[in-house]
């Protein structure tokens, strides 16, 4: 087939998809989410050879390449990020970064602010998403088995040693799963054990609620603005395993307060909580 016909075909298909998306929000939602996944695949196809050629294999240095590719994604979805507190990442040496996790779209917000030498903790199932799993592996993502606390704890204590030896920051989503209820889930303790074991600071990062522009339940996915705030580091020098619960609570409360402020909602009240989910952000795609 001639290239001219192919271009015409692609243009007509795009127009058709656009009309369909306008006619039905549900179709628009699926198309936009599908487009996001396709961008991840295409981005990975670009990033894998770049990472292999420039850095030779699995290394945190590949995150720079991945970051620069992913940072372009937001323009396809009309998303804007307003970032405050980037200077709080400027701590000497390793640290644990903790942030709220609302959707697979978080990857864009993550790459928007990701400091150098920083890897994420992810569920091991992500490794099996083909080329996207491969790029996560090459970027140095630490995969854990959430179904086995013993195995996850073993991986995390190994990380406590290597992050100090290799001067790497580790980004953990302490809710342990995607949550778009408009509030926080209780925090798991792994990130805080890790910070205390390695005696490194915890840097909390908070993203405002997505609920005004993204809601899988009502099939809403429009353009929108996300406020991001990097909070001052919380020191853990001298803390012991007895302090894990206190540290977890402190981070949870500080981050939750900030979340409500950034989301332009009144301060947390008991009527808003994960027990009364308004929005569910999990998708069947990445279980
Ligand atoms: C170019 C295109 C690109 C496209 C692509 C690019 C991609 C490049 C970006 C990738 C981005 C990925 C992003 C992934 C995002 C997720 O995959 S999020 C899901 C995975 N992450 C997590 O789960 C992290 C958070 N979870 C934790 O930290 C959990 O604590 C653990 C470690 C998994 C354990 O789970 P659990 O057993 O359910 O949790 P928990 O109740 O906290 O612990 C049970 C007990 O063990 C204790 N414990 C926990 N951890 C420890 C420990 N380390 N030591 C001692 N005791 C411990 C607790 O204290 C608790 O005991 P008690 O205090 O109750 O007595
Ligand atoms: C041969 C494999 C076929 C599978 C093809 C899948 C293609 C996937 C393409 C794009 C996926 C985009 C990945 C973006 C990375 C986002 C990571 C993420 O946010 O994972 C969710 C995880 O934090 C929590 O999972 P749960 O909420 O507990 O569930």
Written as six digits, the tokens of 125 are 């199932």
CA of 126, closest atom in ligand 1:
17
Contact 112, 228 (CB under 8 A): yes
Residue with tokens 């009144």: 266
Contact 216, 281 (CB under 8 A): yes
DSSP sequence for 200-235: --EEEEEE---TTTEETTTTEE--EEEEEEEPPPB-
Q: What is the pLDDT of residue 276?
A: 42
Q: Is 238 left (phi over 0), alpha (psi -120 to 50) or beta?
A: left
The domain tally of the chain equals 1
The answer to whether the CB of 63 is under 6 A from ligand 1 is no
Q: What is the pLDDT of residue 24?
A: 78
CA of 136, closest atom in ligand 2:
15
Tell the residue nearest (CA) to atom 16 of ligand 2: 104
Closest ligand to C-alpha of residue 280 is 2
Q: What is the pLDDT of residue 120?
A: 97
The answer to whether the CB of 73 is under 6 A from ligand 1 is no
Q: What is the pLDDT of residue 154?
A: 95
Give 174 Cα–ligand 1 centroid separation in angstroms: 6
Q: What is the pLDDT of residue 132?
A: 98
Residue with tokens 């080329």: 131
Which ipTM value was assigned to this complex? 0.95
C-alpha 257/C-alpha 245 separation (Å) is 18
Give 6 Cα–ligand 2 centroid separation in angstroms: 31
Q: What is the pLDDT of residue 127?
A: 97
CATH of the domain at 196: 3.40.1130
Q: What is the pLDDT of residue 18?
A: 79
Q: What is the pLDDT of residue 1?
A: 65
CA of 146, closest atom in ligand 2:
28
Task: Give how far Cα 153 sits from Cα of 5, 100, 140, 189, 222, Å.
Answer: 56, 21, 18, 10, 39
Which tens digits make up the pLDDT trace of 221-234?
999 999 999 999 99
Give 191 Cα–ligand 1 centroid separation in angstroms: 7
pLDDT tens digit at each of 287 positions of the chain: 677 888 899 888 888 887 887 777 788 899 999 999 999 999 999 999 999 999 999 999 999 999 999 999 999 999 999 999 999 999 889 999 999 999 999 999 999 999 999 999 999 999 999 999 999 999 999 999 999 999 999 999 999 999 999 999 999 999 999 998 899 999 999 999 999 999 999 999 999 999 999 999 889 999 999 999 999 999 999 999 999 999 999 999 999 999 999 999 887 654 444 444 444 455 444 43
Ligand 2, pocket-test mutation among 104, 124, 286, most atoms within 8 A of CB: 286
Give 14 Cα–ligand 1 centroid separation in angstroms: 40
Written as six digits, the tokens of 190 are 């792994």
Q: Which domain holds residue 132?
A: 3-286
Tell the residue nearest (CA) to atom 64 of ligand 1: 189
């Amino acid at each position: 087939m001639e290239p001219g016909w192919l271009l015409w075909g692609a243009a007509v298909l795009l127009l058709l998809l656009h009309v369909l998306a306008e006619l039905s929000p549900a179709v628009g939602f699926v198309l936009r989410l599908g487009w996001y996944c396709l961008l991840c695949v295409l981005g990975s196809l670009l990033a894998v050879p770049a990472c292999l050629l420039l850095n030779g294999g699995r290394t945190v240095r590949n995150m720079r390449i991945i970051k620069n590719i992913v940072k372009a994604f937001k323009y396809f979805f009309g998303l804007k990020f307003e970032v405050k507190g980037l200077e709080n990442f400027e701590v000497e040496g390793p640290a644990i970064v903790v942030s709220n996790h609302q959707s697979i779209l978080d990857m864009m917000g993550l790459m928007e602010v990701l400091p150098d030498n920083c890897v994420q903790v992810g569920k091991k199932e992500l490794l099996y998403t083909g080329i996207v799993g491969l790029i996560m592996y090459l970027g140095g993502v630490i995969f854990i088995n959430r179904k086995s606390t013993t195995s996850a704890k073993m991986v995390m204590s190994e990380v406590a040693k290597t992050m100090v030896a290799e001067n790497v920051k580790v980004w953990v989503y302490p809710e342990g799963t995607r949550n778009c209820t408009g509030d926080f889930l209780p925090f798991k303790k792994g990130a805080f054990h890790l910070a205390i074991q390695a005696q490194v600071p915890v840097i909390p990062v908070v993203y405002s609620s997505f609920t005004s522009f993204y809601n899988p339940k009502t099939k809403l996915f429009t353009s929108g603005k996300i406020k991001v705030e990097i909070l001052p580091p919380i020191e853990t020098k001298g803390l012991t395993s007895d302090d894990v619960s206190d540290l977890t609570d402190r981070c949870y409360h500080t981050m939750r307060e900030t979340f409500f402020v950034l989301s332009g909602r009144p301060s947390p009240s008991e009527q808003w909580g994960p027990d009364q989910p308004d929005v569910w952000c999990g998708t069947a795609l990445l279980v």
